[in-house]
Amino acid sequence: MTTEASRHPLASLPRLPSGAGSVGLLFVALLLFWLAVNFVKTPADFVEVFLIGITTGCVYALVALGYTLVYGILELINFAHGDVFMLGGMVSATLAVSWGLEAGQASLWPLVILILLISMAFCGLLNATIEFIAYRPLRNAPRLAPLITAIGMSFILQNIALAWKGPNYVTAPDVLPTGDVFSIGGVSYTWNKLIVVLITVPVLLALVWLVQRTRQGKAMRATAQDRDASAIMGINVNRTISFTFLIAGALAGSAGLIYALYVTTVRFDQGFQLGLIAFTSAVLGGIGNLPGAVLGAVLIGLVQAFNEGLGWHTPGSDWTQSIVFSILILILVFRPEGLLGEQTPEGG
Amino acid sequence: MSESPPEQPRHVETRGAAPEVGYRNRARAAWHSQSQERRWAIVIGAELLLAILLGLPDTSLGIGVALVAALFWLPKVTPIPWRLVAEAAILAIAGAIAGAGKAPWSLPFVLAIAFAAWWIPTRYRRWAIPLLVILAVVFYPFYLQRLFEMPLFGPFPDQSTAVVMLVFIMMAVGLNIVVGYAGLLDLGYVAFYAMGAYTAAWFASLQFAEHTWHFGAVGVSPTLAGFHVSIWLLLILAALLTAMTGVLIGLPTLRLRGDYLAIVTLGFGEILPQVARNGDNFFGTGFNLTNGPNGITPIDSPGWGNRISDATGGFLPSNYLQCCDRTLLGHQVSSADVFFWTALVLLGITVFCSLRLRDSRLGRAWVAIREDETAAAAMGVPLMRTKTWAYATGAFFGGIAGAYYGSFKSATFPGDFFFNISVFILCMVILGGMGNVWGVIVGAAFLSYLDREGLANTGSWINSNINIGGWHPNIDVPLYASGIYGAIILIVMLFRPEGLIPSRRRAMEFHEGVHDEPLYDSTGS
Amino acid sequence: MKSRAAAIAFALLVAVLALAAAGCGGDDNESEGTTTEASGGGGGNASAVDALPASSCSAVYYEGDGDPDYLIASDLPLQGAGRTQTIEMTKAIKFLLKQRNFKVGDYSIAYQSCDDSTAQAGKWDSGKCSANANAYARNQDVIGVIGTFNSGCAEIIAPILNRAQNGPVAMISPANTYVGLTHGGPGTAPGEPEKYAPTGKKNYARVVAADDFQGAADAILAKQLGLTSVFILNDKEAYGLGVATNFRNALGKQGVKVAGFTAWDGKASSYEALATKIKSSGADGVFLGGLVCENGGKLIKDLRANLGANVQIMAPDGFTPISAVVEGAGTDAENMTVSVAGLPNSQLKGAGKTFVSDFSADNNGKDPDPYSVYAAQAAEVLFDAIERSDGSRAAVAEELFNTDVKDGILGTFEIDEKGDTTSNPVTIYKIKGGKQTDFKVITPPTSLVKAA
């Protein structure tokens, strides 16, 4: 934080009162106490809800990573990202229905992987196209301009889905096995949940490898830190940004497939809602920070699951939406750099 | 990688040559490199083509397009004799159309008035044209029935629709203070609208039936339970409460940089409706604040009471809903008319305040912050206080609009407030021209008309008139309303970010860039 | 140079205009019909009544002799998920009107179908409801309104029609089930129902049983099915919360435990955590107070997956059409019950049976939706009230409350002085093999309804 302050000698901000930190600590302590009481009262439910939260969190993580990648490189909240994800889900659901996927069929997994690849390619290209059409021309405009076009883009994508599939839910076949992986003391963990985690983790590892170890990843990090200097150093900045959108879109595509198979219903307006939750996750973890996005997403998944699933003094699902957005607001106000620290060009 | 085009540095002011990056700028450059004759030829060709294409299924639409195009060319006809001939020609054609029974005589009449207005000497135009516009709007209910029908968009809106339009225009003007003047993106403006509507609902309905308190309410029996306060006081109260909400939301969040602020406002815009939805029984306490999803109905209607009404000879009606038993200039005054005129007065106040604020010290501080926060702070502009004022002022007018709308439709439901409305109002501001009140009014009037009636009419026009080789489209156009608004946002931001009627200063910012590197990035505790 | 080009441009456009104007003089009659054509076809003459605004209402439907004397309107949400249902309701009204040859007693009646939804919301919109209501009130030719579909919209329209000039204007709803519209009781707001009739003269009635009947019937069903503890969910919309609250009240009276009462979020992606909570509450039944379009299919799936096959899922008429439930939830919808106020089409007798078969023949052989039957009955009640009246608005509204139907479409019933129907059977359907099957008909006793 000292660097921040020194970078802006003019900052004459009303600082938050010093008590804010201790209030925050108290709040976290209360939260832990509440969790502990719930755990003692109904341990089996607690674990079960915990597992559900992790699974939901994994889906959020894939979407949140897309937000965080794009924000890291362009400082743009890509509102349309959630809708790209939703379109990925619809493409996956449509393919799964038209190819007649069935649980237990021999060719199930090759087909699923094929759909995954198609969905990733579709969303990746879509996202890169959106960048080219809607964001690139505005790169020198005031900062809010691309944010506004992103909202416009989001609405357009929703209406494309609406025109394509109508206002009702698109249902994908139930193909993931729902048998128990294990069942101990009333807690059962089903295969479909494990599969979600099993798809998410390799994708994450591949992404981290890509950003940390490859030449293209290096270019991405360089562009994120200083676009002008990167250009001088011979990095094709436009191509790098396109590539980032491609990767982010592919992640959304994979999330779309997982969503279609695990949740099995997609509607045209679900992407925006889930996108906001994913964005909250990214902010919670520290926007621009890849592990942070995953951490934030899992935390948000857990918060939602605990709120809806636990019995002792929970606000219940009436308030889920408010709780998620309250977290977003509190984090932005009190700790804008997130839990693990922000890695934007200035902050990184 | 060597063939990469040189990247423009991001936040550096680029006055002078526009950067020719991206398809948009290349297209713009290619367009401007053509000779003027060729450009005009292309434009006229496109207009003719459009007029003929649209005229084939529906002649009147083709005529309408050609007419509008001709009107846009008219200012370019500068020699006075030519100009006279041109105007006469247009009038003659409009007269011919009217004579053929295709349009009422109001069409040539309106055109004639518009042309006459052009001939007003420049020194009088400054006040004559606004005066004409105001007169035209005030007397709208009197000649509404005689107006011609717009091709494609359908008839002119009736008074009740006009009231809704005026309410949305007020909200757009209020949002313009936040977005256009101060450059703060607010994606949760609907929260202020909700706050205003609920304030009216709380203090002018049976919601709190355990108390009975009347203060200047009209049209309700004095023994009726619940708070019943005069709507006029409630408009002020709603505005103040909403402004306070704005300050409360603003104080912690305005420190954030622009895009984070947008997200936080969006968050509030999502939370408040849920609070309204769950507010019939907060956490099982049994306290009923908002009556939950059932909403609060009915809300008292405005009125001046018998005493004031009699004192003004019935000019101010005692109760809007039971209005009015009188005929003015051969027009039976209805309650919708009175609601319309009142909304007009409220809008007038809003616009006046908005204009005065813009030219005030505070307004200049807003612009300074919008253009360069660092420089503004260096010049001694108190950032937080200035931004909070922008927020509070924007919220203030949103509150008035919400309260008036609640009283007009006599109800408020949590389902009325959702994210799309925030974007819808933002779309009005962007389309009209951020920062320019007149532009915002035009944009808001157009879009709110489109939302209420225009889209439905356009949809039925498309479905009934288009016939390509026996194929009739069956498109539910209003279903895609949000997509159409999204497309408007996108197209305007890409090709004319300053809006239809831009404020000159804002246009320069969009084309030449500003220094909007925020001053205190993520300066947390 | 500049001005010459401009002059040329201008001249070109003017020339086109002139040509077009000349052309349109010729085909005058041809393009006239596009805006005022009666949607039923057949060039009706409806000039004697002022039409309601075209922005929310369809063209005037009248094919009778001479000019119509009065106009009736229906007020339904014609956009969004319920579109097929509501469109069919308007068809049913048109069908009946045509059957009567647009004659009701001495009066000729024309009809307009008005839409109270906006595309943005995809459902009813309060602003639209109020604008429509003002349009009905202002248009002196409107003598009665059939509607609304959503209770919230009726809350707005009823008081405005009540204060209309020469009014009140009669309003009869085929679908509003919110209790407070006609009578007070647990769960209603202060001042209900008097606040919907500010003039003191009532004008609102309905032919459908209020939520308290359905809640009571479902509570009896729960008891009959041998459930001991039921978890109640609602979708936090006016309808869902209302019916869930009434069910909860009645359930207590039946001696069945309420295991929990909470909302489900229609925008959520999964309900597994919620299902875990229900499971740990030990409930052997779940009541879904809400609409199937609020992600109901996914909700049923998640409940089934987590609660097992033995827990009974019960739903009110928000989970119609049942085909939509089966489509959304697949085999997980098996054995769930759906209660619908009124009798099933197969059990209708006399006029009802005739209507179902005739309307079905008129509507491509499709079995009428229950709401179409209600719309038809509501139209009949309104027609009869007009027939008995002296042709004034106030008289029609008054006659509405003297309704005494013998062997009507929905059987024999009266409209009581509060505006409620006295015939309140509730049919329970059970989903078997992906189809709706008539399970039983329950007529809840008044004492239980009062408590609900």
Instruction: Report the residue of chain B nearest A15, measured CA to CA.
Output: B525
- For the cut 50, the answer to whether the pLDDT of residue C26 exceeds it is no
Measured CA to CA, the distance from residue A259 to residue B103 in angstroms comes to: 56
Q: How much is the average pLDDT of B433-455?
A: 89
Q: What is the pLDDT of residue B516?
A: 58
Please state, in angstroms and as integers, the Cα–Cα distance from residue B422 to each residue in A219, B277, C257, following that order. 38, 18, 43
Question: Using omega within 30 degrees of 0 as the cis cutoff, is the peptide bond preceding C148 cis?
Answer: yes
- Closest-CA distance of chain C to residue A112, Å: 21
Q: Which of A18-27, B268-277, B354-363, C52-61 has the highest mean pLDDT?
A: B354-363
Structure tokens at B405: 């709308």
Q: C109 has which bridge partners?
A: C70
Q: What is the pLDDT of residue B490?
A: 92
Contact indicator for A346, A7 with CB cutoff of 8 Å: yes
The lowest-confidence range among A301-305, B258-262, B415-419, B470-474 is B470-474
- For the cut 70, the answer to whether the pLDDT of residue C305 exceeds it is yes
Sequence-ordered list of residues with C-beta below 8 angstroms from that of A305, at least 6 positions apart, any chain:
A49, A50, A52, A53, A56, C272, C273
Contact indicator for C205, C154 with CB cutoff of 8 Å: no
The lowest-confidence range among B88-92, B237-241, B482-486, C228-232 is B88-92
Structure tokens at B162: 């006009």
Measured CA to CA, the distance from residue B50 to residue B151 in angstroms comes to: 14
∠ CA A207-A211-A215 to the nearest 5 degrees?
A: 130
Q: What is the DSSP letter of C165?
A: T
Residue A66 CA, chain-centre distance (Å), reads 6
The percent of residues above 90 in pLDDT, for chain C, comes to 25
Residue C326 CA, chain-centre distance (Å), reads 22
- For the cut 80, the answer to whether the pLDDT of residue A157 exceeds it is yes
* Residue C299 exposed, middle or buried by CB count within 10 Å (0-12, 13-18, 19+): buried
A321 with C269: Cβ contact below 8 A: no
CB count in 10 Å sphere of residue C347: 14
Q: Radius of gyration over alpha carbons of chain C, in Å?
A: 25
Sequence-ordered list of residues with C-beta below 8 angstroms from that of B245, at least 6 positions apart, any chain:
B191, B192, B195, B395
Q: How much is the average pLDDT of B391-409?
A: 94
- Where helices occur in A286-319 by DSSP H, the ranges are 290-309
Q: pLDDT class for B35, splitting at 50, 70, 90? A: confident
The percent of residues above 70 in pLDDT, for chain A, comes to 92
The percent of residues above 70 in pLDDT, for chain C, comes to 88
- For the cut 50, the answer to whether the pLDDT of residue A8 exceeds it is no
Q: pLDDT class for C33, splitting at 50, 70, 90? A: very low
> For the segment B115-161, what is each residue's pLDDT rounded down to a tens digit?
887 778 878 878 888 888 888 899 888 888 778 777 778 788 888 88
Q: What is the pLDDT of residue C14?
A: 67
Please state, in angstroms and as integers, the Cα–Cα distance from residue B184 to each residue in A165, A277, B250, B268, following that order. 36, 23, 11, 15
* A318 vs C262, C269, C277: nearest CB: C262
Substitution target from A52, A102, A159 for chain C, most C beta carbons within 10 A: A52
Q: What is the pLDDT of residue B403?
A: 95
Q: Which of A168-177, B174-183, B455-464 has the highest mean pLDDT?
A: B174-183
The percent of residues above 90 in pLDDT, for chain A, comes to 31
- For the cut 70, the answer to whether the pLDDT of residue B314 exceeds it is yes
Q: What is the pLDDT of residue A60?
A: 92
Q: What is the pLDDT of residue C25?
A: 44
Q: What is the pLDDT of residue A344?
A: 53
Contact indicator for B148, B106 with CB cutoff of 8 Å: yes
> For the segment B384-395, what is each residue's pLDDT rounded down to a tens digit?
889 999 999 999
- For the cut 80, the answer to whether the pLDDT of residue C35 exceeds it is no
Please state, in angstroms and as integers, the Cα–Cα distance from residue B319 to each residue in B18, B148, B322, C129, C130, following that order. 59, 32, 6, 21, 17
Contact indicator for C214, C428 with CB cutoff of 8 Å: no
Q: pLDDT class for B171, splitting at 50, 70, 90? A: very high
Please state, in angstroms and as integers, the Cα–Cα distance from residue B186 to each residue in A309, B189, B239, B277, B411, following that order. 34, 6, 18, 22, 26
- Where helices occur in B56-105 by DSSP H, the ranges are 59-73, 80-99
Residues of A in contact with C270 (CB under 8 A): 52, 56, 262-263
In this prediction the pTM is 0.88
What is the average pLDDT score of chain B? 83
Q: B residues 163-202 near A, CB within 8 Å?
A: 183, 185, 187
Measured CA to CA, the distance from residue A154 to residue A140 in angstroms comes to: 21
Q: How much is the average pLDDT of C230-245?
A: 89
Residues of A in contact with B182 (CB under 8 A): none
- For the cut 80, the answer to whether the pLDDT of residue B104 exceeds it is no
Q: How much is the average pLDDT of C112-137?
A: 84
Q: pLDDT class for B359, splitting at 50, 70, 90? A: very high
DSSP state string for A114-174: HHHHHHHHHHHHHHHHHIIIIIGGGTTS-THHHHHHHHHHHHHHHHHHHHHH-SSPEEPP-
Residues of A in contact with C122 (CB under 8 A): 167
Contact indicator for A154, A77 with CB cutoff of 8 Å: no
CB count in 10 Å sphere of residue A52: 28
Q: What is the pLDDT of residue C47?
A: 56
Residue B212 CA, chain-centre distance (Å), reads 38
- Closest-CA distance of chain B to residue C37, Å: 11
Selected residue with higher pLDDT from B190 and A317 = B190
Bridge-based pairing of strands C229-234 and C257-263 is parallel
The candidate with the shortest Cα–Cα distance to C288, out of C314, C256, C325, is: C314
The candidate with the shortest Cα–Cα distance to B188, out of B165, B171, B212, B170, is: B171
Q: What is the pLDDT of residue B17?
A: 40
Q: What is the pLDDT of residue A302?
A: 93
Sequence-ordered list of residues with C-beta below 8 angstroms from that of B453, at least 6 positions apart, any chain:
B153, B154, B157, B161, C53, C55
Question: Using omega within 30 degrees of 0 as the cis cutoff, is the peptide bond preceding B273 cis?
Answer: no
Measured CA to CA, the distance from residue A141 to residue A227 in angstroms comes to: 16
Contact indicator for B406, B239 with CB cutoff of 8 Å: no
The helix (run of H) or strand (run of E) holding residue C123 is strand C123-124
- Chains in contact with B via at least 3 Cβ–Cβ pairs below 8 Å: A, C
Measured CA to CA, the distance from residue C148 to residue C78 in angstroms comes to: 11
Q: What is the pLDDT of residue B416?
A: 85
The candidate with the shortest Cα–Cα distance to C302, out of C288, C281, C290, is: C288
The candidate with the shortest Cα–Cα distance to A226, out of A71, A69, A65, A73, is: A73
The lowest-confidence range among B44-53, B93-102, C97-106, C293-302 is B93-102
Q: What is the pLDDT of residue B407?
A: 92
The helix (run of H) or strand (run of E) holding residue C232 is strand C229-234
Q: What is the pLDDT of residue A20?
A: 66
- Where helices occur in C308-427 by DSSP H, the ranges are 322-329, 351-362, 370-388, 393-400
Query: Cα torsion at C162, C163, C169, C173 (round to 10°)?
Result: -30
Q: pLDDT class for B71, splitting at 50, 70, 90? A: confident
Chain A / chain C CB contacts < 8 angstroms: 85
Instruction: Report the residue of chain C nearest B289, measured CA to CA.
Output: C189
- For the cut 60, the answer to whether the pLDDT of residue A7 exceeds it is no
Interface check for A19 against chain B (CB to CB < 8 A): the answer is no
A158 with B482: Cβ contact below 8 A: yes
Chain B / chain C CB contacts < 8 angstroms: 222
- For the cut 60, the answer to whether the pLDDT of residue B367 exceeds it is yes
- For the cut 60, the answer to whether the pLDDT of residue B344 exceeds it is yes
> For the segment A285-320, what is each residue's pLDDT rounded down to a tens digit?
888 888 889 999 999 999 999 988 887 777 878 888
Residues of A in contact with B384 (CB under 8 A): 13-14
The lowest-confidence range among A31-45, B387-401, B467-481 is B467-481
What is the average pLDDT score of chain C? 83
> For the segment C61-96, what is each residue's pLDDT rounded down to a tens digit?
998 888 899 999 999 998 776 778 889 999 999 999
Question: Using omega within 30 degrees of 0 as the cis cutoff, is the peptide bond preceding B141 cis?
Answer: no
Query: Cα torsion at B318, B321, B324, B329 (round to 10°)?
Result: 110
Q: pLDDT class for A1, splitting at 50, 70, 90? A: very low
Q: What is the pLDDT of residue B514?
A: 65
Token pair 């918060």 in the structure block, residue = A303
Measured CA to CA, the distance from residue B1 to residue A333 in angstroms comes to: 41
Residues of A in contact with B490 (CB under 8 A): 134, 149, 152-153, 156
The percent of residues above 70 in pLDDT, for chain B, comes to 93
Q: How much is the average pLDDT of B480-493?
A: 90
- For the cut 50, the answer to whether the pLDDT of residue B495 exceeds it is yes
Query: Cα torsion at C369, C374, C377, C379 (round to 10°)?
Result: -100
Measured CA to CA, the distance from residue B396 to residue B470 in angstroms comes to: 54
Sequence-ordered list of residues with C-beta below 8 angstroms from that of B146, at least 6 positions apart, any chain:
B104, B106
At A118, which amino acid appears?
I
A270 with C272: Cβ contact below 8 A: no
